[in-house]
Structure 1
Amino acid sequence: MSDSGTLEEAYERLHRTGPEFDGWLSNHGPMAVEAMVRHGYDRDVHRWLDGYVARLDELPRGASPVGGGEWREALGDARRLGDWLAFFDGELRERPWRDVLETWWPRLLPGIAAGATHGVIRTGHAVHALLGFEDETRLAELGQALGYWAARWQPVAAAGPPSGTADPGRALDGVPRVPDQSKGINHRLDQLAEVAGWGPAVAALRPAADAEQARARLAELADAATLRYLTHAHGNPVMLVHAATAPTAVLRTLPALPQDLWAGSLDAAWAAGAAVTAAYAPAEPVARQDLPAGAGPAEEVFELAVRHGDEHVIKLADTALDVHRRTGDPDALAAVARAATLISPFAS
């Protein structure tokens, strides 16, 4: 992570804005700038933000503080967004951030679908930044991320723990699609409990025997979702990015968590990835021979994403480079080129 101070400057600009805009769209700014700085694109951050911040809403104010005894009732109440932001701001001023995360991670994890998984994704980026360097601005970003997750807390329907024998790639292939794909993510997720085969599909993943195996399986899940994006992205090129970036966010958070939380983290990340896949996967993949030529070398892929400018392409590139380092599979890089083709560029 660069020590130029650019990330802190970017966070300070973004912390004057809310976690959502235009009703319920997620503010991707903190996630994108963290990735840009970490990959050495400090010089592009403020230019990108100049265009992006103009789209955002003001930071919401709290009205009724979240008390220590009522947090369960306040989870998932989007009207309390300002209250939750204030709550975690206070928590992180009074307690070490790892203690706050250890307390709240298992409380928030069952609601991993929050904000179309953006609650956990923003948290993963914030933790990744803090693991590199701790300061007040990065702590404030973690508070914003956790507050957003708490306010939009949303479980994945009927998702029991894995108990099967399938690896992540085969398990994703077995996820059934929701029947009505005409509306937004909440409408699609609401159908899951009634989808024939949803429960068995979630159970099909091979469970982890210990913490290290949970970490390895999380990496395999991020790998499988990223590689799958290449041939399935046309189902919804924006939303299917999250099938890869959500497990990546969880994976990056593990070093800050006790190992006894790792297996449950895998289970939740798998449920989230499977839910996004069920909600947005196309009826049929694109045949490999119908795809354009792949991306350039790894060192050019993140530059491609920054030039393109869309926050989803930037976040997918961030994940895809991890996948390519682990697997050596060029399809991880090609997935970024595919996203840049299907998603409209952001004119900053």
Structure 2
Amino acid sequence: MDTTGVLDEALQRLHGSGPERLGRLTNHAPMAVEALSARGQAGSVHRWIDLYARKLEEFPSPVEPITAANWRTALGDPRRAADWIGYFERETTDRLWRDVLAQWWPRLLPGMYGGSTHPLIRVGHAVRTLLASESTAPRLTELAHGLGYWAARHHPVAALAPLPGADSAAAALEAVPSLTERRGTFPDRLDRVTGLPVWAATTRDPAQARLRLVELVRAATHRYATHGHGDATMLVHAATAPNAVLRTLPALPPELWAASLRAAWTASAAVTAMYAPDTPVPFAAPGAITPEEVFERARIHGDEHVIKFTDTALDVADEPALTAALRSLHLSEPLR
């Protein structure tokens, strides 16, 4: 983890920008710079922001302060993003951040699918930094921005029919039925998902839930190598969303872990249903390569989804995961 102060400088630089642009596209910069810093690439952070800056928009205007009495009426209202961020900035200033997270996690978890799961992923990056290092003001503010964005984009899924499942995460992902109609935005497609295979639904033990979540992240990461061509950008979320949950578990009470697993499975499986192709395309890594070399290639490539997916692949840390990361480089346009 970066101890040079560069990450804090970068977060302060970015907190003047809003969580989205063009009305619905996510600002990925805070997540990408956290990944770069966590992987020993703090020296490239400001240069990366310079390249990404054209995708940033001004911080939105507030509407009305959110309080303990009125928060329910503002949940899921993207117009209230500034209000929600302000609320969580106050909360993380006045209280321990772990207490704030534990209180709001079960409230926000059912709506983790809003914003194409990006708010959850942003929280996962923020929590990783807070768990690994000092709780500086910019890092606490980053958690507040992530939680506020999540609350503003809170979007539950409709009741899903339980379909025949499988014993493993990999087999369950393979059993996910593809949508017959694939036009439209992420929310449009999500509304068309009516059923998903049952997997890990009966898990209640926290330790077992964590192991199942590790298995899911690994399976989704591996699967990208052969199925990422369905949508190079959106399919990374089948792995990065559950990994954000996995990264957050150590900061949460264990009694929340099983529900977190179930929500993560729904997110990963829904993304698979919406974007994964029916026919895999084999992809072979070009010879032996180290995790450090793979991440260096991702840094040079610069695409925000490539950086974040490669960061997740390094968490999995096996050869198929590194192959999947290289596949993301081949499928995505570099940041220029």
Is it true that 1:116 corresponds to 2:116 in the alignment?
yes
Q: 1:8 to 1:162 in 2, by over 3 A?
A: farther
Correspondence 1:346 to 2:322: no
Question: Counterparts in 2 of 1:112-151, with a 5 A limit?
Answer: 112-132=112-132, 133-151=134-152
Q: Distance in 1 between matches of 2:125 and 2:27?
A: 13
**In structure 2, which of residues 232, 244, 255 is the aligned counterpart of residue 260 of structure 1?**
255
Which of 211, 215, 222 matches 1:220? 215
Q: Does 1:284 align with 2:285?
A: no
Q: How far, CA to CA, are the matches of 2:204 and 2:147 in structure 1?
A: 29
The answer as to 2:316 corresponding to 1:323 is yes
Preserved CA contact (<8 Å) 1:231 1:285: yes
Equivalent AA in structure 1 for residue 178 of structure 2: R
Separation of aligned partners in 1, 2:4 and 2:255: 36
Identity %, equivalent residues: 53
Letter matched to residue 298 of structure 1:
P
**For this pair of structures, how many residues does the alignment match?**
335
For structure 1, list consecutive stretches of 5 or more residues without a partner in the other structure.
none
Does 2:333 match 1:332? Answer: no
What is the one-letter code of the residue matched to 2:158? A
Conserved? CA contact 2:243–2:312, under 8 Å: yes
Aligned match of 1:297: 290
Gaps of 5+ in 2: none
Matched residues in 1 for 2:29 and 2:273: separation?
A: 27
Tell me how far 1:160 sits from its aligned partner.
Answer: 7.4
The alignment partner of 1:192 has SS state of coil
Give deviations 1:20-43, integer Å, cap 9, x for gaps: 012211111111111101111011
Cα offset, 1:292, TM superposition: 6.2
The equivalent residue for 2:193 is 192
Give me the whole-angstrom Cα distance separating, in 2, the residues matched to 1:252 and 1:205.
Answer: 19
Confirm or deny: 8 A CA contact 2:7 2:34 kept in the other structure: yes
Change (3 A) 1:162 1:265: farther
Aligned partners of 1:162 and 1:205 also within 8 Å: no
Q: Is 1:103 the counterpart of 2:75 in the alignment?
A: no
Equivalent residues of 1:162, 1:267 under 8 A apart: no
1:314 aligns with 2:307: yes
- Deviation of 1:178 (Å): 1.4
The letter of the residue matching 2:299 is V
Partner of 2:174: 173
1:61 Cα deviation (Å)?
A: 2.0
Given the superposition, is the C-alpha separation of residues 295 and 68 from structure 1 closer, same or farther in structure 2, using an over 3 Å criterion?
Answer: farther
> Aligned partners of 2:292, 2:90: CA distance in 1, in Å?
41
Deviation larger for 58-67 or 269-278 = 58-67
Q: Deviations over 1:24-71 (max 9, x none)?
A: 111111111111011110111000001112321111121111121222
Tell me the amino acid that sits aligned with residue 183 of structure 2. S
Q: Which amino acid aligns with 1:245?
A: T
Question: Matches of 1:261 and 1:80 in 2, distance apart?
Answer: 27
Report the CA distance between 1:239 and its aligned residue: 0.3
Runs of 4+ residues over 6 Å off in structure 1: 160-163
Deviates more, 1:104-113 or 1:56-65: 56-65
Deviations 1:58-106 (A, max 9, x none): 1112111112122222111111111111111111111110110000000
Which has the larger displacement, 239-248 or 175-184? 175-184
Which residue is equivalent to 2:73?
73
CA distance in 1, matches of 2:44, 2:109: 33
Q: Are the aligned partners of 1:163 and 1:205 in contact in 2 as well (CA < 8 Å)? A: no
Q: Aligned pair in 2 of structure 1 residues 282, 78: CA closer, same or farther (>3 Å)?
A: same
CA contact (8 A) 2:165 2:172 kept: no
CA RMSD of aligned residues (A): 1.7
Preserved contact between residue 294 and residue 333 of structure 1 (Cα < 8 Å): no
- Residue 232 of structure 2 corresponds to 237
Partners of 1:214 and 1:186 lie apart in 2 by 28
Separation (CA, whole Å) in 2 of partners of 1:292 and 1:94: 49
TM-score under structure 2 length normalisation: 0.96
TM superposition shift of 1:162: 10
Q: Deviations over 1:188-228 (max 9, x none)?
A: 101112xxxx24x1x24463241011111111100000000
Name which of 229, 234, 247 aligns with 2:242.
247
The residue identity in structure 1 corresponding to 2:209 is A
CA separation of 1:179 and 1:239: change in aligned 2, threshold 3 A: same
**TM-score (structure 1 length as normaliser):** 0.92
